[in-house]
């Protein structure tokens, strides 16, 4: 093999530690993270929009199904946040493939801006949901006891100030504090936000904060959906109108030979 040929092969296999990934295709790790995050986001948007206009998550469903669905919604949201952090770290350490040579400058700038907004949404959406779940009085606190004073007495063995099974807090759109991420890891609350409702006097302020987080989370869901639609339309445009191997960059199909 000549030096020139070797250089060409080397340039096409520098990603993934020389594992055969060409320079115009994302690394295997980036591809897996991309599709995993996409799947979790679609699942989250689907379950999240079930809550739109009802005031309670899946309000017409039995409490057991509602809590299960919400637990899955929370688990996938936190997973999106974790995978996005990994994706950003991987992106900083691994150069992505270049845009096609025929791509117009305004398209490059639009792609960069759209990707930035997508990454921001993938971080801010889970964080706003996490903050919304945290905007409840800590279980067993004086604020929680006052908040649940109108509810039936807790069953034997349940800590006072904790909602009985099936009971919904006045503003509850999140799971009980004992929710586990994928039923494995206890879901921690954001302590400064949760502490606001520790005393009865802080409950109204925490209610208001909760509603603000819920509004941001709802608006963010629509914005994220819009960004995803634009992202998909852009990929389809490059693949079928510009006749570029756009899908192959993310592991679907074969690259078009020059």
User: What's the pLDDT at 212?
Assistant: 94
- Going from N- to C-terminal start, the domains of the chain cover 23-95+106-139+166-249
The residue among 27, 38, 33, 129 whose CA lies nearest residue 88 is 33
User: What's the pLDDT at 67?
Assistant: 76
What is the distance between the alpha carbons of residues 139 and 154, in angstroms, rounded to a whole number? Answer: 12
C-alpha distances in Å from residue 123, one per residue of 83, 119, 154, 236, 245: 10, 6, 37, 25, 29
What residues form DSSP beta bridges with 21?
A: 15
User: What's the pLDDT at 244?
Assistant: 74
Please return the burial class of 75, using the count of CB atoms within 10 Å of its CB with bins 0-12, 13-18 and 19+: buried
**Does residue 40 contact residue 80 with C-beta atoms inside 8 Å?**
yes
Does the model's pTM come out above 0.85?
A: no
| Percent of the chain whose pLDDT exceeds 70 | 71
Q: DSSP label at 117?
A: H
The fold for domain 23-95+106-139+166-249 equals Fumarate Reductase Cytochrome B subunit (1.20.950)
pLDDT (tens digit per residue) in 181-219: 998 988 889 999 999 988 888 889 999 999 999 899 989
What is the distance between the alpha carbons of residues 80 and 85, in angstroms, rounded to a whole number? Answer: 9
* Alpha carbon of residue 255 to chain centroid: 30
Task: Examine the pLDDT at 123 and tell me if it is beyond 70.
Answer: yes
Of 20-34, 76-90, 97-111, 141-155, which one has max mean pLDDT? 76-90
Terminal Cα distance for the chain, rounded: 21
């Amino acid at each position: 093999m000549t030096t020139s040929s070797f250089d060409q092969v080397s340039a096409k296999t520098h990603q993934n530690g020389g594992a055969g990934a060409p320079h115009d295709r994302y690394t295997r790790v980036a591809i897996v993270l991309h599709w995993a995050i996409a799947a979790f986001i679609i699942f989250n948007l689907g379950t999240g929009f079930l809550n739109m206009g009802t005031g309670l998550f899946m309000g017409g469903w039995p409490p057991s199904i509602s809590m299960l669905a919400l637990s899955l919604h929370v688990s996938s949201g936190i997973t999106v946040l974790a995978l996005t952090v990994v994706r950003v770290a991987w992106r900083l350490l691994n150069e992505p493939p270049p845009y096609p040579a025929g791509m117009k400058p305004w398209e490059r700038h639009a792609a960069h801006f759209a990707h930035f907004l997508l990454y921001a949404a993938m971080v801010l959406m889970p964080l706003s949901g996490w903050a919304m779940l945290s905007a409840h009085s800590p279980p067993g606190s004086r604020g929680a006891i006052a908040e649940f004073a109108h509810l039936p007495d807790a069953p034997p063995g349940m800590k006072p100030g904790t909602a009985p099974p099936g009971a919904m807090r006045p503003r509850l759109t999140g799971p009980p504090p004992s929710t586990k991420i994928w039923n494995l890891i206890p879901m921690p609350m954001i302590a400064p936000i949760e502490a606001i409702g520790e005393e009865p006097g802080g409950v109204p302020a925490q209610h208001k904060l909760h509603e603000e987080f819920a509004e941001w989370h709802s608006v963010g869901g629509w914005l994220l959906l819009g960004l995803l639609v634009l992202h998909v339309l852009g990929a389809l445009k490059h693949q079928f109108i510009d006749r570029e191997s756009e899908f192959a960059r993310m592991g679907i199909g074969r690259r078009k030979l020059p």
